[in-house]
Chains A and B, each alone.
Chain A
Amino acid sequence: MCLAIPGKIVDVLEEDRSLALVDVLGVRRKVDLGLLQDEPPETGDWVLIHVGFAMSKIGEADAREQLRMLADLGESDAAMEEVRGYGLEDG
């Protein structure tokens, strides 16, 4: 139920705009875009592929945001620890 991989659309096929050629590290396959017809993806977009169908568009901004949040992990807490060490808090 769960194996889905991000792939880049290298060509939206002309014969049938519901089909695209998708690339995953140099491996290519025609992927059905039929489930994304409400907001059809374009060449260059990244999509999540499951059993030969594109399930959703990958949000690059969301990915960046998530990595930023992870990179910040522990930093604000570490800063808090340091401040606590100064004994400035009540109780």
Chain B
Amino acid sequence: MTSVVSKIRFRDPQVEMAHGAGGKASRRLIDGLFAPLLFGSVPVPLGDAAHVNVNGTCVAITTDSFVVSPLRFPGGSIGELAVNGTVNDLAVSGARAQALVVSYVLEAGLPTEILEAEVRAMADAARAAGVIIAGGDTKVVEHGKADRMYITTSGIGQLIPGLSISPAAVRSGDKILLSGPIGDHGITILLARGDLDLEADLCSDTRSVLPLVEALAEAVGAGVHWMRDPTRGGVATTLNELAHDCGLGVVLAEDLIPVRDQVRGACELLGLDPLHIANEGQFLAVVAAEQAETALDALRKTPGGQDAALIGEIGEQPAGSVLVTTLYGGSRMVDMLVGDPLPRIC
């Protein structure tokens, strides 16, 4: 067994908040420290879930931690995120979630009614998503050592037949589909924190995207080349990861990207870009050009997919990057976030 010490490229002296934000810093930590030490035998690039061979059967497996404040917000709570997030990671890797296991880290002093509400929310979300929660674990830490509760869910799933997705399958000319309006979740959370004193009739989009993924698989099967769910860091971060992983360019048409009025209003007021805002109930799919219309149609006909849109395409340029174009011929690059998006006044 050769030493992997020389392969560690992570040079930051300590862990910073940015390393968990899902953007460039997170990437550096994963690629530079975790991957060389942990994933030596697994081929990179890493997706939302890993496909492992268990005695001849290929299963998908994934894990995710949920840390959110406030715990409850319009449209959902940490419990729902914990179930849907993992179901979605499996779905966009091309798998149907079968079972989840859950791990709770609870802060001493957490009122039981809050814990009960979240456990109920998880049970309801699991039922709605068609997945069983097979087991779990609990740890309690001293007051002040956890922000009320942290939830980790791990999930295992069966591969959806007919799907074969990876960045290597992506081709120049492929079209990019988005399942629905972006920014709902991130803006809801921002407003729910209360620091900005903004109100809007808006809720988190947290939901299982499995039915939409299955509809897509049924309609075009191998025509789907790649999928991912744009959570922290938004569509911009996810598509930058794609561009980086496949070495091609992503070109989006700004006017085709669905954004709700309230999300737009909040973003304009706060100087934010909807492309950088987190989503918890959407996914992106890269589909072969000739099957794009069929794919879009299938999504739109599925409950919850009525706002699906074709938002762009893959090209040779700008290689490794994401470009957004406007109807009048202007364009701008869109980069990955470093940390969380911050409101600005300038």
A contacts B: CB pair < 8 Å: yes
Chain B interface: which of A1-9, A54-62, A77-85? A1-9
Interface centre among B265, B268, B269 (most CB of A within 10 A): B269
Among candidates B198, B268, B271, B346, residue contacting A29 with C-beta atoms closer than 8 Å: B198
B128 CB → nearest A CB, Å: 27
Check if A5 sits within 8 Å of B268, measured CB to CB: yes
Chain B residues proximal to chain A, CB less than 8 Å: 196-202, 261-262, 264-266, 268-269, 271, 344-346
**Please, what's the 1-or-0 string for A38-76, where 1 marks a CB less than 8 Å from any CB in chain B?**
000000000001111000000000000000000000000
Check if A28 sits within 8 Å of B198, measured CB to CB: yes
CB-CB < 8 A to B198: which residues of A?
A: 27-29
Check if A24 sits within 8 Å of B345, measured CB to CB: no
A-B contact pairs, 26 of them (CB 8 A): A2-B346, A3-B271, A3-B344, A5-B268, A24-B265, A25-B264, A25-B265, A25-B268, A26-B200, A26-B201, A26-B202, A26-B261, A26-B262, A27-B198, A27-B199, A27-B200, A27-B262, A27-B265, A27-B266, A28-B198, A29-B196, A29-B197, A29-B199, A29-B269, A30-B197, A49-B269
How distant is the Cα of A27 from the Cα of B343 in the complex, in angstroms?
Answer: 15
A46 CB → nearest B CB, Å: 14
Check if A27 sits within 8 Å of B269, measured CB to CB: yes
CB-CB < 8 A to B345: which residues of A?
A: 1, 3, 50-51
In chain A between 12 and 45, which residues have their CB closer than 8 angstroms to a CB of chain B? 24-30
> In chain A, what residue has the closest Cβ to B344?
A3
Give the interface size class of chain A: 10 to 19
> In chain A, what residue has the closest Cβ to B198?
A29
Among candidates A2, A3, A26, A30, residue contacting B265 with C-beta atoms closer than 8 Å: A26
> In chain B, what residue has the closest Cβ to A51?
B345
CB-CB < 8 A to B269: which residues of A?
A: 5, 7, 24, 27, 29, 49
How distant is the Cα of A25 from the Cα of B261 in the complex, in angstroms?
Answer: 6
How distant is the Cα of A1 from the Cα of B344 in the complex, in angstroms?
Answer: 10
> In chain A, what residue has the closest Cβ to B191?
A27
Interface centre among A2, A26, A50, A52 (most CB of B within 10 A): A26
> In chain B, what residue has the closest Cβ to A29?
B198
How distant is the Cα of A27 from the Cα of B262 in the complex, in angstroms?
Answer: 6
Check if B200 sits within 8 Å of A1, measured CB to CB: no
CB-CB < 8 A to A29: which residues of B?
A: 196-199, 269
CB-CB < 8 A to A3: which residues of B?
A: 271, 344-346
CB-CB < 8 A to A49: which residues of B?
A: 269
Known contacts A26-B262, A27-B199, then 13 further A-B pairs from the complex at CB < 8 Å, ordered by chain A residue? A2-B346, A3-B271, A3-B344, A7-B269, A24-B265, A24-B268, A25-B264, A26-B261, A27-B269, A28-B198, A28-B200, A30-B197, A52-B197
CB-CB < 8 A to A50: which residues of B?
A: 345
How distant is the Cα of A52 from the Cα of B345 in the complex, in angstroms?
Answer: 10
CB-CB < 8 A to B264: which residues of A?
A: 25
> In chain B, what residue has the closest Cβ to A50?
B345
Interface centre among A7, A27, A30, A50 (most CB of B within 10 A): A27
A53 CB → nearest B CB, Å: 11
How distant is the Cα of A1 from the Cα of B346 in the complex, in angstroms?
Answer: 4
